[in-house]
């Protein structure tokens, strides 16, 4: 148990990745705030932009709803719904339009049966299970000196890392689809595209940060388990 509490890998490996993830979260908030002040030339709100992007892509039957919270925008494939936050749904800014188009990109992925998205969706139940039990199982294994529990915890945590790894191409592809459609459909003017791209690039960094933290934790858990052997 002491190995887990005082392991130096936390200081030299996990902590730096956590700081990077915190910086990524700060960056997206700052960029979203900055470009939320830049009104779109066409005056389309986030919801209107999402509808237009879906229409141009030939994707029908996707509902768009408002959801509370800050940067809580997401696509729900189970109910085929895009949920946009208050700062995006009815706001005609390049930041809001970029975020809304990104979520529309996820809906387009789902309609096109984009493979990484399908695989990620398939392991969500195991991922949810693993995220709750992985660390407790490792700690219990260390406390009771049960190698089997430690290995099971590491295996479940590995599924969490796999999920986050699969998230990267899904998010990057959705952003690429969004930027291309915003440009090709004229929802945003040519000179507005770089601002939306900066917002989506910052958002992508948050997923990179989350993966880095989880990967560092996985390496740490494996090192602790190896020492116990």
How does pLDDT run across 73-117, given as a tens digit for each residue? 999 998 999 999 999 999 999 999 999 999 999 999 999 999 998
Across the range 46-53, mean pLDDT stands at 96
- Whether the per-residue pLDDT at 133 is higher than 60: the answer is yes
Global pTM? 0.89
> For residue 5, what pLDDT is reported?
53
Kindly report, residue by residue over 134-179, the tens digit of the pLDDT: 888 888 888 888 888 989 999 999 999 999 999 999 999 999 999 9
Range 138-146 contact pairs with CB under 8 angstroms and sequence separation of 24 or more: 138/4, 138/221, 138/224, 138/225, 139/1, 139/4, 142/1, 142/3, 142/4, 142/224, 142/228, 143/1, 145/228
- Whether the per-residue pLDDT at 54 is higher than 70: the answer is yes
Across the range 10-14, mean pLDDT stands at 86
> For residue 213, what pLDDT is reported?
96
> For residue 55, what pLDDT is reported?
94
Block residue for tokens 């116990």 = 228
**Average pLDDT value over all residues in the chain:** 91
- Give every strand in the sheet of 74-76, ordered side by side: 63-67, 81-85, 74-76
CA distance linking residue 168 with residue 207, whole number of Å = 7
Q: H helices of 113-192, where?
A: 115-122, 124-144, 147-185
φ, ψ for residue 203, nearest 5 deg = -65, -40
- Give the residue numbers marked as catalytic: 103
Across the range 124-132, mean pLDDT stands at 85
Share of the chain above pLDDT 90, in %: 72
CA distance linking residue 72 with residue 69, whole number of Å = 5
Tokens at residue 199, please?
Answer: 């917002």
Kindly report, residue by residue over 184-203, the tens digit of the pLDDT: 989 999 999 999 999 999 99
- Whether the per-residue pLDDT at 4 is higher than 70: the answer is no
> For residue 40, what pLDDT is reported?
95
* Residue 174 near residue 214 (C-beta atoms within 8 A): no
The SS3 call for residue 33 is helix
User: pLDDT band at residue 2, thresholds of 50, 70 and 90?
Assistant: very low
Question: 32-61 burial, b for 16+ CB within 10 Å, e for fewer?
Answer: beebbeeebeeebbbbbbbbbbbebbebee
User: pLDDT band at residue 131, thresholds of 50, 70 and 90?
Assistant: confident
Range 61-64 contact pairs with CB under 8 angstroms and sequence separation of 24 or more: 62/104, 62/107, 62/111, 64/89
């Amino acid at each position: 148990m002491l190995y887990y509490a005082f392991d130096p890998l936390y200081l030299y490996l996990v902590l730096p990745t956590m700081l990077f993830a915190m910086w990524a979260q700060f960056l997206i908030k700052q960029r979203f705030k900055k470009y939320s002040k830049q009104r779109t030339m066409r005056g389309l709100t986030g919801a209107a932009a999402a509808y237009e992007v879906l229409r141009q892509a030939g994707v029908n039957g996707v509902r768009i709803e408002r959801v509370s919270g800050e940067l809580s925008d997401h696509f729900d494939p189970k109910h085929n719904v895009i949920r946009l936050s208050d700062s995006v749904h009815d706001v005609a800014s390049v930041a809001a339009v970029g975020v809304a188009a990104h979520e529309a990109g996820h809906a387009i992925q789902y309609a096109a049966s984009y493979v990484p998205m399908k695989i990620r969706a398939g392991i969500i139940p195991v991922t949810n299970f693993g995220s709750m039990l992985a660390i407790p199982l490792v700690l219990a294994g260390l406390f009771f000196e049960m190698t089997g529990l430690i290995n099971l915890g590491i295996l479940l945590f590995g599924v969490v890392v796999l999920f986050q790894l699969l998230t990267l191409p899904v998010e990057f592809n959705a952003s690429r689809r969004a930027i291309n459609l915003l440009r090709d459909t004229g929802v945003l003017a040519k000179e507005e595209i770089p601002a939306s791209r900066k917002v989506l690039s910052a958002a992508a960094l948050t997923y990179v940060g989350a993966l880095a933290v989880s990967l560092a934790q996985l390496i740490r858990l494996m090192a602790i388990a190896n020492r116990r052997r």
